[in-house]
Chain A
Amino acid sequence: MNIPKNLLYTKDHEWARIEAKTAYVGITDYAQESLGDITFVELPKKDEILEQTKRCATVESVKAASEVYAPLSGRVLSVNAELAAHPELINQLPYEKGYFLSMEFSNDSEKANLMDAASYQRYVEGLSK
């Protein structure tokens, strides 16, 4: 299970990479593995306002559709347009070319609601027990 050290994580298996006031957002290796082959993703629009823990995207695998929740509140700066034709990037490179969007996050204190890599690792290990 790949859990990069420099990211923050949610209990719903989203990740956020913070660069100054910008957060890059995607789903974790654990999430893509559990979902199986991803065949479709619905992303928010540029400038859409996201709210922490609220739905920001939908991913569909062959078997089912699942909601993806915003790890932080803020405004969407851009979405990963490549996913429309190549949703398999989420399976292949969930932390890189398979990212969902970038956002300008509005509330620094919300970061406290997220887990660091070590906590997320423990959390995931607890789920498989």
Chain B
Amino acid sequence: MLKTPFYNIHLALGAKMAPFGGWLMPIQYQGILAEHAHTRQAVSVFDICHMGEFSLEADPALSGFDRVVTQNITSMPVGSCRYGFMLNEQAGILDDLVVYRINKNNWMLVVNAAATSGDYEHLKKNLSGKYHLQNISGKMGKLDVQGPQSLDVLKNIFGDGLAGLNYYRFSEFVFEKERCIISRTGYTGELGYEIYISNDYAIKLWELLLKDGRVKPAGLGCRDTLRLEMAYPLYGQDIDTDHTPLAAGLAKFADFSKIFIGKDALLKEQENGPREHLVCFQADSRRAPRHGFAIFDRDKRVGIVTSGSFSPSLCVGIGMGYVSGNYDIGTQLVVKDSGTEIPVRVVKKPFLNKTSI
């Protein structure tokens, strides 16, 4: 089991640790509900060092990089980042990733921890000509600072320049002579920043952040409830090689004006309509749908829950899952497991609307 440079710091803070994507990660410190509320109301810092980062020097067209990802990267301004996918030929999702344009032909790719080595191989296989691809995950630390007060807290450290950063834009900043990248991005639905900085300085930054009384550490437990309230997909759970961006309702992150691996399959699927749809549903009670529970339309089994939890903000059970057929907003369904039946209704995403993002 891999450990981030923060492992001992987490233990000293009394974190409950658990495996995630091959890494031993903090699930909670004080408690998931308290950390969730603190992120929505104030500001939390998350150790996200497990995520993978690649640096890539490549002309997007000549190297084939543009073909490997679904987002339109050639139109990205330098200093912007964009969410999208790497697909296989069948349009199954190999990973979701954020591409950062550092310079004209200089990129950073941020990928899921468990998918890192597979993504690297996929890129190697599909890039050609002159390019330089490097897996920099080992030396690159990542801290997510998320919450309505995140800008106020980070301005004290990085200066007022941070205030000019728009959503999905990034810039280079200096922390104690160390250069780092800060993007205004996140996985919580709140105003927030993701900070890429070498491991040693990541620890110094974490310690400085926690000296600010407004900042508390938060674990992957609340990261999951925070992202689920926004209906953000989790790779390996809501999206995977068995599902396409179309089925997942994420086709807007594929640019159909260009050529990309999986495009033909996606177009074909679009023609016939996807066999399954990812839908969001909400229970009337506090009872939580769980990953793997069956979804029923009256007495007919129509799908399976991919993510489900108690929503700390809404105080009811919420979830997402794939269903065959089309279900309109408001349709009543039932989520079932042995002995458990949870009536739910299909709702629009996201579950939570008024956030600081």
Residues of chain A whose beta carbon lies under 8 Å from any beta carbon of chain B = 36-37, 39-40, 42, 58, 60, 62-65, 87-88, 91
Interface pair B285/A62, CB less than 8 Å apart: no
Binds A, one of B95-103, B160-168, B286-294, B346-354: B286-294
Interface pair A60/B28, CB less than 8 Å apart: no
Chain B residues positioned under 8 Å from A62 (CB to CB): 32-33, 221, 225, 288, 309-310, 312
Q: Which chain A residue shows the least CB distance to B36? A: A62
Distance, CA A39 to CA B340, complexed state (A): 16
Interface pair B31/A37, CB less than 8 Å apart: yes
B216 CB, nearest partner CB in chain A, Å: 15
Interface pair A40/B28, CB less than 8 Å apart: no
Distance, CA A91 to CA B310, complexed state (A): 16
Task: Given contacts A36-B16, A37-B34, A39-B288, list 20 more A-B pairs with CB under 8 A.
Answer: A36-B221, A37-B31, A37-B32, A37-B33, A39-B33, A39-B286, A39-B310, A40-B286, A40-B288, A40-B310, A42-B287, A60-B310, A62-B32, A62-B221, A62-B288, A62-B309, A62-B312, A65-B288, A65-B290, A87-B286
Interface pair A60/B288, CB less than 8 Å apart: yes
Interface pair A63/B286, CB less than 8 Å apart: no
- Option from B32, B33, B287 in Cβ contact (under 8 Å) with A60: B287
10 A-B pairs closest in CB distance? A39-B310, A40-B286, A37-B33, A62-B32, A37-B31, A40-B287, A37-B32, A62-B310, A39-B286, A60-B288
How many A-B pairs have beta carbons closer than 8 Å: the answer is: 43
Q: Which chain B residue shows the least CB distance to A65? A: B290
Distance, CA A39 to CA B16, complexed state (A): 18
Chain A residues positioned under 8 Å from B288 (CB to CB): 39-40, 60, 62, 65
A48 CB, nearest partner CB in chain B, Å: 15
Can you identify 29 A-B contacts, CB atoms within 8 angstroms? A36-B16, A36-B28, A36-B32, A37-B33, A39-B286, A39-B288, A39-B310, A40-B285, A40-B286, A40-B287, A40-B288, A40-B310, A58-B340, A60-B286, A60-B288, A60-B310, A62-B33, A62-B221, A62-B225, A62-B309, A62-B312, A63-B27, A63-B32, A63-B221, A65-B288, A65-B290, A65-B340, A88-B33, A91-B31
